[in-house]
Structure 1
């Protein structure tokens, strides 16, 4: 075998190893951060779902629908913060919860009633995959029964439509289950 002093390949395998090792470690970090984003998303969604359930079942039995909705929103934020404490996931706090209120006096008709939260997290660990944020949204829209005050207002409106002038006394709607 003839040795050529201009063509020495003694470091080629080391360079190839370093390049493939760097690429492999980079992929591992990207997929690890993606897995953490998915896990954070599941945690936020679970907290949003539980907060939406408490929002939808909180019935203040008040004549003022707005006051009842405020109480429901406060209760939902408390539940959200109990399942997802502040600081557990960066950028997500219970104060960021937004609602699709069923109240027809303050909002247009809403086909979906419940809560949602929008937050942003980094896509990847800084040196691999970029430093840009990914926007996430967790929604929990459930069916809702009307509250007592909403039922009272609807029954009162029905009584007035029949030509009866008074419905300021306690109004009930009886259902025999049939």
Structure 2
């Protein structure tokens, strides 16, 4: 019995000695958390433009504010447009007679006016986009202008068309 007790005591002391040489440790691992947020762009608060009836006076034009939102640090964006006419031309039509119009873009709360000279051409590095999800009064504008000479030659009727505005990421 004494030998059994001595054996157990010796075994216990030996295991304690081993534990002291190799103490238990808590295993730890690191986990990397990552997320990519791509460039996001949006144009909103766009409203239709109704010129009403042409009176025969001057080059009628109408301007509308829009909101540009993107999540770039600079607020820069590229804008292009295409119309609903043949080859994406900027035209309205009564079904058979097209009337061309000009398109102007104002960025940064109307501080700079540029012509979108042809369908699908791009105005690069425009400034003034907001990162906010809302825009209270617009931060850019589009203007449509008809030439009196084209309107005076057009037959009477109702004319309509569509302009498509496209945003793209700013140039690096």
- Common fold: TM-score over 0.5: no
More helix by share: 1
More strand by share: 2
Structure number with greater CO (CA < 8 Å, separation at least 6) is 2
Larger Rg: 2
What is the TM-score of this pair, normalised by structure 2?
0.30
